[in-house]
Amino acid sequence: MQDASTRWVRIMSKQEIPEGDFVRCLKADGKKVCLIRHGQELVATQATCPHAGGHFSGGWCKNGMLVCPIHRYEYDLRTGRGAAGQGDYIDLYPVALKDDGVYIGFKTGWLKRLLG
Ligand code: FES
């Protein structure tokens, strides 16, 4: 999980993690993301729905799928792929739970890595 092309950004302390399942949109390093817990898994996705730009906050999870609260399109939390017939997908970001909190990994472009 540690490679030079991924920049890890801390988004909350362990104490701030809500109890139980949740879908929460927040900002990480200026980028809007959605942090989700479904069962034992923490998953990070893009914050807005590709269908019509609805916000995922207020959404929920069902059988490993994130359900958008606006028109109830569904997205697989493991692959990002939309449910059958939707023909769309969402971006997923790696999540790491460390001693001091929850981190989301963002890919860094080659030019930014080159320039530091
Ligand atoms: S905006 Fe999400 S399903 Fe339509």
For the CA atoms of 28, 37, 70, 33, the dihedral, rounded to the nearest 10 degrees, stands at 10
> Position of tokens 């069962």?
39
CA atoms within 13 A on the CB side of 109: 3
Pocket of ligand 1 (CB under 6 A): 49, 51-52, 54, 68, 70-71, 73
**Span 15-38, pLDDT tens digits:** 999 999 999 999 988 899 999 999
Quote the longest CA-to-CA distance of the chain. Answer: 43
> How far apart are the CA of 69 and the centre of ligand 1, in A?
7
Report phi then psi at 17, rounded to 5. Answer: -70, 120
Q: Ligand 1 pocket check: which of 23, 46, 48, 51 to mutate, most ligand atoms within 8 Å of Cβ?
A: 51
62 CA to centre of ligand 1 in angstroms: 16
Q: Domain map of the chain by residue range?
A: 6-115
Which tens digits make up the pLDDT trace of 70-79?
999 999 999 9
Tell me the fold of 6-115.
Answer: Rieske Iron-sulfur Protein (2.102.10)
Question: What global pTM score does this model have?
Answer: 0.89
